Structure 1
Amino acid sequence: MSFNKLFQFLRNLNKNNHKEWMDEHRKQYHEVRDFYIKWLNEMDIKLAAVDPDYSPTTGKQAINRINNNLLFHPDKPIYKDHFGAGLDKEKGKGDFYIHIGINGSFVAGGFYKPKKQILDSIRAAIDYNGNEFKKILREKSFKETFGGLMEEEKLKTAPKGYSQDHEHIDLLRNKSFAVMHELTQKEIMEDDFQEKLVDIYKKMLPFRNYLNHAITV
């Protein structure tokens, strides 16, 4: 089994996105899923070796369901076009997310549109010591790897309790505090893919540590 077969399965599923096809190809699905779980188990060991605060996460714990949640998103197809998984999982903290899909692959971390309590805690940390956070965001290897924060949605004005002329207002207006690094299918199928992910994980770690500390203090 390989990522090449995983991508092929997802392409076939995307063309036949209905329960009848999945039932007919359930064995193939489990073979692909088992391959990815085994691969995640290997990644789990590698990441734990470079981060003393890493939370061990088995492949079965990490992998997301391939079914879309039609209760909240009834217009979506039954099945996703990707396999998603979150490593370094610990309740209340941001994980290291790996997204392998036919319409784009990436790794990401931080908090994407978090709940109010988490968002308030992050903003409080930035209010207290935003310079430290900006130093992390401006670090050369970090910028080269992630570019910057994902800024899909921001407040038009200052959040409640903060002034418009706050020195860190550019950060405080964010509704998400997450970064991502896009991956190509060619990269994913190379022999050193796991080593590349370990390197990306290490470059993201100061960012994730800052946020995780912010919501636990």
Structure 2
Amino acid sequence: MIQQQTLDFLSDLVDNNNREWFMDNKVRYDQARQNVIDFTTELIKLMHKVDPALSPELDAKKCVMRIYRDVRFSKNKTPYKNNFGISLPTTGTKLGGAEYYFQIQPGGKSFIAGGYWMPDAAHLKAIRQEIDYNGHDLTNVIDDAAFVKLFGDFRAQDKLKTLPRDYTADHEHIELLKLKSFIALHHIKDKDILSAKAAENVAALCSKICPLNVFLRNAIL
């Protein structure tokens, strides 16, 4: 389970996002990161049962993302992220593609997400083709009442302002074809993050995302 000390470290980091403070609190960071790694180990076992495409052999340490920010091309020069990110790929061990993502961030900002964020050109073309051919398979997933209650309107994501190449405005699924990403996201309260059943609850949420990931994987295989 995620410990209160882990959230406390992240909260304090927001107010002290500098190298000097971080190095003075390196022990706290190491403890928080290990807590997240242990949680991830438990989550991987549960997630393989939810989605067999997610390998039970995933290395939890590699699934926990670096806390160090790449500030080279950012106006925000703070050196550290104010969250722990857990990325769980479903195509081997390489990150990217259709996957599950869990972000731990205090203040009610934690969330579970799944799908495919900003596919490259080849994958985006393949996903649009799959929507063109089998769009009803996707709408059966995203328009299900339980899915909408958890993740909202799937079509209300970043999308093209113009029509995608090779598709017309009267296409039955044009709003899906215009999407740039294919993500389902659900925010999680701090008290639920700290629950002894947090990993089970996250896996249960991912079970609702799984059919979306299956559709996306089938599109790009």
Do these two structures clear the TM 0.5 threshold for a shared fold by scoring above it?
yes
Q: Tell me the amino acid that sits aligned with residue 3 of structure 1.
A: Q
Tell me which residue corresponds to 1:101: 105
* Higher deviation after alignment, 173-182 or 151-160: 151-160
Higher relative contact order (CA 8 A, sep 6+): 2
Q: TM-score, length-normalised on structure 1?
A: 0.93
Q: Is the 8 A contact 1:150 1:180 kept in 2?
A: no
* Higher deviation after alignment, 201-210 or 70-79: 70-79
Tell me which residue corresponds to 2:119: 114
Q: Is the 8 A contact 2:50 2:210 kept in 1?
A: no
1:124 and 2:129 correspond: yes
Deviations 1:154-199 (A, max 9, x none): 1122101111111111111111111101101011112221121111
Tell me, in whole angstroms, the C-alpha distance in 2 between the residues paired with 1:80 and 1:208: 27
Tell me, in whole angstroms, the C-alpha distance in 2 between the residues paired with 1:108 and 1:175: 16
Q: Percent identity?
A: 34
Tell me how far 1:2 sits from its aligned partner: 4.4
Tell me how far 1:125 sits from its aligned partner: 0.4
- Superposed CA RMSD: 1.7
Residue correspondence of structure 1 range 176-191 to structure 2 within 5 A: 176-191=181-196
Q: Is the 8 A contact 1:118 1:215 kept in 2?
A: yes
Q: TM-score, length-normalised on structure 2?
A: 0.91
Q: Tell me the amino acid that sits aligned with residue 51 of structure 2.
A: D
Tell me, in whole angstroms, the C-alpha distance in 2 between the residues paired with 1:154 and 1:192: 36
Tell me how far 1:49 sits from its aligned partner: 2.6
SS at match of 1:77: coil
SS at match of 1:102: coil
Residue correspondence of structure 1 range 47-86 to structure 2 within 5 A: 47-56=47-56, 57-86=58-87
Tell me how far 1:30 sits from its aligned partner: 0.5
Tell me how far 1:5 sits from its aligned partner: 0.7
Tell me the matched-pair count. Answer: 216
Q: Is the 8 A contact 1:150 1:178 kept in 2?
A: no
Tell me which residue corresponds to 1:87: 88
Tell me, in whole angstroms, the C-alpha distance in 2 between the residues paired with 1:98 and 1:65: 14
